[in-house]
Amino acid sequence: MPTPFRVESTDIKALNDLQLTKLLKLLLHHEARSSGIAERAVEVALNINVRDGGEDGRIHWNGDPPSTQFLPLHLVQFQNKATRNMVPADCAKEILNKDGSMKHMVEEVLENGGAYILFTTQELNNNQKTERVRLIRGKLADLGKEYAATALIDIYDASKIEGWVNKYITAIVAVLNWIGRPWERGLKTWEDWSQHPEYQRFPFVADDHRENALKSLRGLFNNHGNCARIIGLSVKGDAVKKLNIATSQVRSRVIHRLL
């Protein structure tokens, strides 16, 4: 039975190509922010119909941390597949061009010691994932790549993506809205709110006082166990866009947007 503020792997399986790409972008930005990684390290393009050379998204940073719970290396490339019927041989072909050569973006990342992750809405058990990774390595070996046996290659299936999504409340809300199961009382992502005509007519204009308050709140919630109460009259306009509060717990990492 579905529970509030939690998605299931079946919810991930229901996402289409664009939604899966939007979700990847959202998760990478959250993972970067929560781990002290500059968000400029994230690159995800939403023009999914343009040839991408085998890459739908990546994150690349230097220094600490050396990894995070869902990012195994400093350089991680993701290739998205929103499909239910992708057999192991198809996964192996994803790194290749039609002429059998290696897709240049995949080659660039692996040759620089990065990780390649297939990000899919399929739900796979461990044996199924192992077989797919084995076939990908086989293609690399056929191409004479020295890193065929050692490159970090992984598959994030619906179950693993579910665990990542449930770390972040805004990712949960986004998925629930996309699959037509929005949570009650108008809980929406900023993307949904921004479609309202009143928000499009009056662009948000920041001021020093509000920016300082937001900076203080972000700093407060970077430390485990902290909380804050905001007291006062509600305000109108796009201030909702600017309030981004995050705690450091898995389920309590809250992105709170207020009017």
Residues 117-139: b if buried by 16+ CB within 10 A, e if exposed: bbbbbbbbeeebbebbbebbbeb
For 55-106, the pLDDT digits (tens) are 899 999 999 999 999 999 999 999 999 987 889 999 999 999 999 999 999 9
- pLDDT, mean of residues 22-47: 93
Which amino acid appears at position 52 of this protein? D
CB neighbours of residue 6 within 10 Å:
14
pLDDT for the residue numbered 49: 64
Tell whether the model's pLDDT for residue 244 goes beyond 90.
no
Of the two residues 136 and 202, the one the predictor is more confident about is 136
- pLDDT, mean of residues 108-112: 96
Fold classification of 9-178 is: Trna Endonuclease; Chain: A, domain 1 (3.40.1350)
Which of 34-43, 49-58, 98-107, 197-206 bottoms out in mean pLDDT, i.e. has the lowest?
197-206
Tell whether the model's pLDDT for residue 189 goes beyond 90.
no
pLDDT for the residue numbered 118: 96
Tell whether the model's pLDDT for residue 221 goes beyond 50.
yes
pTM reported for the whole predicted model: 0.73
pLDDT for the residue numbered 142: 96
Tell whether the model's pLDDT for residue 136 goes beyond 60.
yes
Helices marked H in the chain? 9-13, 17-34, 88-93, 104-111, 126-142, 158-165, 169-178, 190-193, 197-201, 208-220
Tell whether the model's pLDDT for residue 165 goes beyond 80.
yes
User: How many residues in total does the chain contain?
Assistant: 259
The confidence band for 227, taking pLDDT boundaries of 50, 70 and 90, is confident
pLDDT for the residue numbered 92: 92
Instruction: Tell me the percentage of the chain whose pLDDT exceeds 70.
Output: 77
**Domain boundaries of the chain, sorted by first residue:** 9-178, 190-242
What is the rounded average pLDDT for all residues in the chain? 83
